[in-house]
Amino acid sequence: MLAARVSELGAQITEDYRDRRPLLVGVLKGAFVFMSDLARAIDVPVELDFMAVSSYGTGTTSSGVVRIVKDLETDIEGRDVILVEDIVDSGLTLAYLRRVLGDRKPASLEICALLVREGAEDSGAKYSGFPIPPDFVVGYGLDVAEHYRELDAIRVFEPA
């Protein structure tokens, strides 16, 4: 199911960027597996860069404060940028990144999110994989305190 949906998202992006070379900006660490699969599913040349932001720390609830831990190495002015997110939850991180990246004057800025939490459907993600309920999830790059990223499927986190 994951692979099929990622392929569909790749096909949509391929169609939309047929004559362009988009820059995929992955939000580390959670989006790295999704972005890797997505980049291979896109049939136009893409470039990759990464940002790391923090709003969760080591817990399962957002701290409410977003900070950049690793910034882009690429100048995005005039570029077509697709921000690749693992999950849109409260929308706080996404709003922050839109503002920060928008200030850098890209030609376009779109969002591709693997998961969109119930209540965040109006996040503005042009490309979205799956809606999910409010459960905390892990796997396929998503974690709790750096655990469970290696799982090949997305699962509801159930504390021991």
Query: Which residues form the catalytic set?
Result: 89
Q: Could you give the CA distance from residue 22 to residue 34 in angstroms, rounded to a whole number?
A: 16
**Order of strands, edge to edge, in the sheet holding 47-54?**
67-70, 47-54, 23-28, 80-88, 108-117, 127-132
Q: Are 80 and 49 in contact (CB under 8 A)?
A: no
Q: How far apart are CA 151 and CA 156, in angstroms?
A: 12
Phi-psi region of 13 (alpha: psi -120 to 50; beta: other; left: phi over 0): alpha
CA distance 153 to 68: 28
